């Protein structure tokens, strides 16, 4: 758990910097360098012989993964799509869930048993360098303007308004201006406590089910369903953000998390597996809501001119919640001998996050702009 916390604290601290760099230099260079750094971190892990080396390796990977992850990738998608941006973000973000479903069994079920954990880390390095870096350099374009296009792939002649002017002009406010708005802090706090609660539950769901009498294999099976439903949820909530305001979509996601914790607290040793699957489905859908809604809240409230920097700043708060939620739940378990009150607190935090999200209002500097 300490390595997990270090990883996410590093990504939290690095995200605002990475966002600024993406805004200034584009995502292609950032992702390529990030993949290189992440690969070096995996090589370092393959050579680990003591605890401090283990922690430093996770910190290195945290820096690399921040540069590869959702800050640059959501920036690219937000720049390229206008009409169905939410759906596009949802499709992009399903890669997180699908990647976990594919890579985790590959590493845990095949590579480690057959080749050792040291070789497995080297294999992850190879995957990162052979797949991510070439695809990034050959395929990615941060903005459609890099190819003489407008969002949604339109040609200039197709995109011209009736008066002959381009309809799409990148508008937005700076990070400094965003930090002075209530909208930024409402978004940041809602994701801080929402992800604090979400990951606090997910990281402890298997030990909890095991503690109350369910076989560990059965409990772990529920975790697999959570990953699958999270991938479905990311696509679904991305689509939903094209239909309704992102703040309402995020509130619905928080509602799924509230319902899932209530279900989990009512699981008994005599409960059937049906209630476990119901919990896994609801927490998975809730877990899938954060990335598409966070991206859309940033782009629609602050514009795209400094999207990377602002999204990175929100990610600082979101990843702080990810890093600390499991620690709090684990500490309370050690102190009390059970998870009951830890889960009650996480439930209450989810409830509090809903009105905070609903209170978000678009800042005045962008209210009259039709294009985000």
Answer yes or no: is 9 within a domain: yes
Answer yes or no: is 158 within a domain: no
* CATH number where 44 lies: 1.20.1250.20
- Can you give the pTM of this predicted structure? 0.88
Give the mean pLDDT of 8-33.
Answer: 93
Answer yes or no: is 349 within a domain: yes
Hey, is 154 helix, strand or coil? strand
- Domain region containing 6: 2-135+173-362
Average pLDDT score, the chain: 89
| Long-range contacts formed by 114-117: CB under 8 A, 24+ apart | none
Answer yes or no: is 186 within a domain: yes
Quick: pLDDT tens for 28-38: 999 999 999 99
Answer yes or no: is 148 within a domain: no
Band (110; pLDDT cuts 50, 70, 90): confident
Answer yes or no: is 346 within a domain: yes
CB atoms within 10 A of CB 114: 9
Quick: pLDDT tens for 284-313: 999 999 999 999 999 999 999 899 999 999
In residues, how long is the chain?
372
Does residue 250 or residue 156 have the better pLDDT? 250
pLDDT > 90 in the chain, percent: 67
In this predicted structure, the answer to whether residue 159 has a pLDDT above a threshold of 90 is no
pLDDT value at position 20? 93
Give the mean pLDDT of 24-47.
Answer: 95
Tokens describing residue 296: 């859309």
**Hunting for tokens 């409230």 — which residue is that?**
301
pLDDT value at position 272? 80
Answer yes or no: is 199 within a domain: yes
In this predicted structure, the answer to whether residue 148 has a pLDDT above a threshold of 80 is no
Tokens describing residue 96: 């997180």
pLDDT value at position 52? 94
Give the mean pLDDT of 77-89.
Answer: 91
Domain count for the chain, please give it. Answer: 1
- Kindly give, in sequence order, each residue whose CB lies less than 8 Å from that of residue 51, ignoring residues fewer than 6 positions away: none
Answer yes or no: is 160 within a domain: no
Does residue 76 or residue 96 have the better pLDDT? 76
Quick: pLDDT tens for 324-348: 999 999 999 999 999 999 999 999 9
């Amino acid at each position: 758990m300490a390595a997990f916390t270090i990883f996410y604290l590093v990504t939290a601290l690095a995200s605002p910097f990475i966002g600024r760099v993406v805004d200034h230099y584009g995502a292609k260079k950032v992702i390529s360098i990030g993949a290189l750094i992440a690969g070096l971190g995996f090589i370092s892990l393959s050579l680990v012989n003591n605890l401090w080396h283990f922690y430093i390796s996770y910190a290195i990977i945290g820096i690399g993964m921040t540069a590869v992850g959702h800050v640059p990738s959501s920036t690219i998608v937000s720049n390229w799509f206008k009409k169905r941006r939410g759906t596009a973000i949802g499709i992009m973000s399903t890669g997180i869930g699908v990647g976990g479903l594919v890579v985790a069994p590959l590493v845990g079920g095949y590579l480690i048993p057959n080749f050792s954990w040291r070789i497995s880390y080297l294999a992850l390095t190879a995957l990162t360098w052979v797949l991510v870096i070439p695809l990034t350099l050959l395929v990615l374009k941060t903005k459609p303007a890099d190819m003489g296009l407008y969002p949604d792939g339109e040609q200039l002649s197709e995109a011209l308004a009736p008066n002959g002017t381009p309809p799409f002009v990148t508008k937005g406010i700076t990070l400094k201006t965003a930090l002075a708005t209530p909208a930024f802090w409402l978004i940041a706090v809602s994701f801080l406590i929402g992800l604090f609660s979400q990951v606090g539950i997910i990281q402890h769901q298997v030990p909890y089910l095991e503690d109350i009498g369910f076989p560990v294999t059965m409990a772990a099976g529920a975790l697999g369903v959570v990953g699958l439903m999270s991938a479905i949820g990311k696509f679904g909530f991305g689509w939903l953000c094209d239909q309704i305001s992102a703040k309402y979509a995020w509130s619905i996601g928080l509602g799924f998390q509230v319902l899932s914790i209530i279900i989990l607290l009512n699981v008994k040793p005599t409960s059937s597996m049906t209630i476990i699957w119901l919990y896994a489905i609801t927490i998975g859908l809730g877990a899938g809501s954060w990335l598409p809604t966070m991206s859309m809240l940033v782009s629609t409230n602050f514009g795209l001119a400094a999207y990377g920097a602002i999204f990175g700043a929100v990610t600082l708060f979101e990843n702080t919640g990810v890093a600390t939620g499991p620690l709090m739940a684990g500490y309370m378990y050690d102190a009390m001998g059970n998870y009951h009150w830890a889960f009650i607190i996480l439930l209450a935090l989810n409830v509090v996050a809903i009105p905070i999200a609903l209170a978000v209002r678009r800042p005045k500097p962008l209210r009259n702009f039709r294009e985000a």
